[in-house]
C-alpha cells in the first residue's frame, strides 16, 4: 500500500530511487555496536576524519600554490578541527563506551563542539560553529561510504547545508528533509542544480529503510513510500524528460544564443556555489551574471571579514577564469537578514554604506578573488546615483591605481527605475532585478506572494524606461530576476532590448534554446503592444 508523507515543495521535479538515509532519529537505541566490533568502528570513524582532513589539505595546498595565503589559512582551520584532540576523544567515547555507529558518533561529537563554540562571546569563534557541524557531516558521510558526487538515490536527512547539497546532491535523484525551509540556501542550491527537493516532511521520513524505493515529488511536496507501479512509471518518465532536456542542453552548449533573425543574447547564470557554476558552464553559460554573495553569509554574527570572503569567492570563481563573473555586493535585509543585522532597517547597498569598513573589506575581497575573471561588481537595491558614486569612490581607494572592474547597479526598486538615466550615467552596465521590482511596484509581499506578474504594464513601463536610459548611456542591460527564465516573460524582455539574461544554473541550456527559437522582430512587436496596453488588460 502506498503511503505518502506530506511536506513542502522546495525544488521542482519528480524522482524515483532508493532512499539513502544520512540521518536517523532514535538510532542510538536501535543500532548499538557490539563490544567486539567497537574498535573497528572507531577505526572507521577516525579514518573518515582523516580523509576529510586530507581533502581539505588538498584545497589548502591549491590555494597556497596560487598565492592565496589568507584563504589557505582559513580552510586550514578545518584541517586543524579534524585533528582536535577534544573532538577525537569525544568520538572515541561515543563509539567505545556508548557503542554509537561511526557516522552518528562523528555527527554528535561535532554538534557538541559546535554548540560549545556557538556559546562563546567572540564572534569569530562562534562563527566557526557551522564549520565544525559541516566537518562532522562531511566525515559522517565519508564513514557511510559517500564520496562527493557518488550518491545516486534520494537523499534523506534532517537538514542539509547548501555546501552539503552542492557536494552530495550533484548526482543524487532528489533530496527529502525532515526539517528545512523553501527559502533555505540548500533549497536555492537544489533548484539551481535541478535536483527535486521536498522539505518539512517531519521525523517520520528518518524511519525509512536504507535502499527502500520511493517516489519523491518535488512539485507536489510528497515523498511516497511503497509507490504503486503507475506512480513509478510516471516518475521515471518525468525524470527521463528532465535528463533528456539536460543532455540536449549540454549537446548544444557551443551553439550561440542567437535569435532566428540574428540578435545575440548573452546567457549567464545566477549562482552561489561552485556546483552551480560548474553546472552552468556545462550547459553553455557564458559566465555568471549574478553571484548572490549574501547567501554565503546568512548565518553571520558580524560583517564577514576580508579573508573569509576572499576564500569563498576564490573557490566559486576558480572555474570562471577568463569569463564574466558578476559579483553582487552583500544584499542583506528583508528575508536575507543575518543575526547581526536583526532589527536594522534598510536593505542592500543602503546597509553597506552605513558600515564603510565592511564595504571596503568586501570590495577588496572581490577584487582579490576576481583577478583571473572578467570581473563586474553589481550593487544591490540601488535607489540613487549617489550610492553608485560612493561605491566607486571606495573602490578607487581599494584599487590604488589598478584598473577598475566594471561597476553596475541593480534596477529593482521603483526609485531606481525612475532615476535610471542618472544612475546609468554612473554605471558600466545595469541589471534588472525583476523579482523585487515586480513585488515593489505592485505592492506585493515577496515572502508570501506565489507569483511575480512581471508582464504587468506598470512593471514593463519601468523596465522600458530603464532600457532607454541604458541605450542613451551606451551600456548593456541584463535581467537577472526570474523573468529571464519565464517562458512568457522572457520574449518580452528580449523585445524590450535586453542584452543579457542571467538564469538559474539548471535552466541555462533551456533558456539558450528558447533564444534560438525566437524572432527578435516578433518579440519587439509583442513588447510594444504590451507597453501600449492599459493596466487592466495586462496579465497579472
Ligand atoms: C531580483 O530581485 O530580481 C534579484 C535578482 O535579486 P534577489 O532575487 O537576489 O533579491
Ligand atoms: Mg533583488
Which whole number is the average pLDDT over 218-232?
94
Whether 294 is in the pocket of ligand 1, judged by its Cβ within 6 Å, is: no
Whether 433 is in the pocket of ligand 1, judged by its Cβ within 6 Å, is: yes
**Which ligand 1 atom sits closest to the C-alpha of 432?**
3
Of 117-121, 238-242, 319-323, which gets the smallest average pLDDT?
Answer: 117-121
- Name the residue with higher pLDDT: 434 or 142: 434
Q: Which residue stretches of 66-147 are H helix?
A: 69-82, 85-96, 102-119, 123-143
pLDDT at 66: 67
pLDDT at 157: 85
pLDDT at 68: 64
pLDDT at 74: 67
Measured in whole angstroms, the distance separating CA 326 from the mean position of its chain's CA atoms is: 14
C-alpha cell at 20: 539513502
Q: Please check the confidence at residue 29 and state whether its pLDDT lies above 70.
A: no
Q: pTM of the prediction?
A: 0.76
* Residues surrounding ion ligand 2 at CB below 5 Å: 412, 433, 436
pLDDT at 12: 82
Residue-wise pLDDT for 60-74, tens only, equals 787 677 666 665 676
Phi-psi region of 105 (alpha: psi -120 to 50; beta: other; left: phi over 0): alpha
pLDDT at 483: 92
Alpha carbons 23 and 208: distance in angstroms, whole number: 10
Whether 412 is in the pocket of ligand 1, judged by its Cβ within 6 Å, is: yes
Residue-wise pLDDT for 132-158, tens only, equals 777 887 888 788 776 666 678 999 988
Q: What letters, b where the CB count within 10 A reaches 16 and e where it falls short, cover 468-504? A: ebbeebebbbbbbbbbbbbeebbbbbbbbbbbbbbbb
Q: Please check the confidence at residue 354 and state whether its pLDDT lies above 90.
A: yes
Q: Please check the confidence at residue 25 and state whether its pLDDT lies above 70.
A: no
Of 24-38, 108-122, 278-292, 493-507, which gets the smallest average pLDDT?
Answer: 24-38
Burial class of residue 393 (count of CB atoms within 10 Å of its CB; 0-12, 13-18, 19+)? exposed
Q: Please check the confidence at residue 181 and state whether its pLDDT lies above 50.
A: yes
Phi-psi region of 334 (alpha: psi -120 to 50; beta: other; left: phi over 0): left
Q: Please check the confidence at residue 161 and state whether its pLDDT lies above 90.
A: no
Q: What is the CA radius of gyration of the chain?
A: 24
pLDDT at 79: 84
pLDDT at 31: 73
Residue 270 Cα to ligand 1 midpoint, Å, equals 10
Residue-wise pLDDT for 409-419, tens only, equals 999 999 999 99
Q: Give the pLDDT band (50/70/90) at residue 182.
A: low
**Which ligand 1 atom sits closest to the C-alpha of 436?**
2
C-alpha cell at 275: 556546483
Q: Give the pLDDT band (50/70/90) at residue 450.
A: very low
Q: Pick the residue whose CA is nearest to atom 1 on ligand 1.
A: 433
Alpha carbons 324 and 252: distance in angstroms, whole number: 20
| Catalytic residue flag (residue 480) | yes
Whether 434 is in the pocket of ligand 1, judged by its Cβ within 6 Å, is: yes
pLDDT at 330: 97
Residue-wise pLDDT for 511-539, tens only, equals 999 999 999 999 999 999 999 887 755 44
Residue 477 Cα to ligand 1 midpoint, Å, equals 15
pLDDT at 148: 63
Alpha carbons 237 and 229: distance in angstroms, whole number: 12
How many residues appear in the chain? 540
Ligand at minimal distance from the CA of 183 is: 1
Give the active site residue among 185, 226, 243, 252: 185
Alpha carbons 465 and 62: distance in angstroms, whole number: 47
Neighbouring C-alpha atoms within 13 Å toward the C-beta of 530: 28
Q: What letters, b where the CB count within 10 A reaches 16 and e where it falls short, cover 285-310? A: bbbbbbbbbbbbbbebbbbbbbbbbb
Q: Please check the confidence at residue 130 and state whether its pLDDT lies above 90.
A: no
Angle between helices 38-65 and 69-82 (to 10 degrees): 170
| Catalytic residue flag (residue 252) | no
Q: Which residue stretches of 12-68 are H helix?
A: 27-30, 38-65
- Name the residue with higher pLDDT: 256 or 450: 256
Share of the chain above pLDDT 70, in %: 89
**Which ligand 1 atom sits closest to the C-alpha of 380?**
6
pLDDT at 402: 93
Residue 254 Cα to ligand 2 midpoint, Å, equals 30
Helix (H) or strand (E) holding 280: helix 274-282
- Name the residue with higher pLDDT: 29 or 178: 178
Whether 436 is in the pocket of ligand 1, judged by its Cβ within 6 Å, is: yes
Residue 433 Cα to ligand 1 midpoint, Å, equals 5
Residue 201 Cα to ligand 2 midpoint, Å, equals 29
pLDDT at 152: 83
Amino acid at each position: 500500500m502506498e503511503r505518502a508523507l506530506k511536506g513542502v515543495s522546495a525544488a521542482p521535479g519528480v524522482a524515483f530511487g532508493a532512499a539513502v538515509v544520512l540521518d536517523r532519529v532514535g538510532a542510538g537505541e536501535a543500532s548499538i555496536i557490539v563490544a567486539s566490533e567497537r574498535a573497528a568502528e572507531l577505526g572507521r570513524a577516525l579514518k573518515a576524519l582523516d580523509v576529510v582532513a586530507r581533502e581539505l589539505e588538498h584545497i589548502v595546498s591549491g590555494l597556497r600554490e596560487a598565492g592565496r595565503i589568507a584563504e589557505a589559512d582559513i580552510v586550514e582551520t578545518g584541517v586543524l578541527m579534524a585533528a582536535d584532540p577534544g573532538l577525537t576523544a569525544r568520538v572515541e567515547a561515543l563509539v567505545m563506551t556508548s557503542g554509537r555507529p561511526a557516522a552518528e558518533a562523528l555527527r554528535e561529537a561535532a554538534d557538541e563542539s559546535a554548540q560549545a563554540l556557538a556559546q562563546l562571546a567572540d564572534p569569530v569563534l562562534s562563527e566557526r560553529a557551522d564549520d565544525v557541524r559541516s566537518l562532522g557531516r562531511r566525515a559522517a558521510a565519508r564513514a557511510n561510504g559517500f564520496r562527493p558526487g557518488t550518491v545516486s538515490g534520494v537523499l534523506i536527512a534532517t537538514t542539509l547545508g547548501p555546501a552539503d547539497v552542492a557536494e552530495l546532491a550533484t548526482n543524487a535523484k532528489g533530496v527529502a528533509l525532515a526539517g528545512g525551509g523553501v527559502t533555505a540556501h540548500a533549497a536555492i542550491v537544489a533548484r539551481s542544480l535541478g535536483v527535486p527537493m521536498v522539505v518539512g516532511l517531519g521525523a517520520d521520513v528518518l524511519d525509512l529503510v536504507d535502499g527502500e524505493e520511493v517516489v519523491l515529488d518535488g512539485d507536489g511536496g510528497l515523498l511516497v513510500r511503497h509507490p504503486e507501479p503507475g506512480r513509478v512509471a510516471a516518475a521515471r518518465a518525468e525524470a527521463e524528460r528532465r535528463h533528456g532536456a539536460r543532455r540536449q542542453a549540454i549537446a548544444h552548449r557551443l551553439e550561440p544564443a542567437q535569435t532566428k533573425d540574428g540578435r545575440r543574447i548573452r546567457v549567464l547564470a545566477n549562482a552561489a556555489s561552485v556546483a552551480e557554476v560548474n553546472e552552468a558552464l556545462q550547459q553553455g553559460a557564458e559566465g555568471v551574471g549574478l553571484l548572490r554573495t549574501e547567501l554565503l553569509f546568512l548565518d553571520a554574527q558580524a560583517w564577514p571579514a576580508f579573508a573569509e570572503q576572499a576564500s569563498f569567492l576564490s573557490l566559486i570563481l576558480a572555474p570562471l577564469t577568463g569569463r564574466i563573473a558578476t559579483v553582487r555586493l552583500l544584499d542583506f535585509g528583508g528575508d536575507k537578514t543575518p543575526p547581526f543585522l536583526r532589527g536594522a532597517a534598510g536593505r542592500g547597498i543602503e546597509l553597506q554604506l552605513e558600515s564603510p569598513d565592511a564595504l571596503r573589506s568586501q570590495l577588496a575581497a572581490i577584487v582579490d578573488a576576481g583577478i583571473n575573471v572578467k570581473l563586474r561588481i553589481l550593487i544591490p537595491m540601488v535607489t540613487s546615483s549617489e550610492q553608485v558614486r560612493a561605491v566607486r569612490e571606495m573602490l578607487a581607494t581599494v584599487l590604488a591605481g589598478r584598473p577598475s572592474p566594471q561597476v553596475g547597479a541593480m534596477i529593482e526598486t521603483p526609485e531606481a527605475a525612475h532615476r535610471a538615466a542618472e544612475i546609468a550615467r554612473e554605471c558600466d552596465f545595469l541589471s534588472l532585478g525583476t523579482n523585487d521590482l515586480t513585488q515593489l511596484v505592485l505592492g506585493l509581499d515577496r515572502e508570501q506572494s506565489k507569483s511575480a506578474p512581471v508582464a504587468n504594464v506598470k512593471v514593463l513601463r519601468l523596465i522600458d524606461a530603464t532600457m532607454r536610459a541604458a541605450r542613451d548611456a551606451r551600456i548593456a542591460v541584463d535581467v537577472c530576476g526570474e523573468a529571464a527564465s519565464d517562458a512568457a516573460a522572457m520574449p518580452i524582455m528580449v523585445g524590450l532590448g535586453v542584452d543579457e539574461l542571467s538564469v538559474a544554473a539548471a535552466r541555462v541550456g533551456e533558456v539558450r534554446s528558447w533564444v534560438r527559437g525566437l524572432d527578435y522582430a516578433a518579440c519587439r512587436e509583442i513588447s510594444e503592444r504590451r507597453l501600449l496596453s492599459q493596466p487592466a488588460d495586462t496579465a497579472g
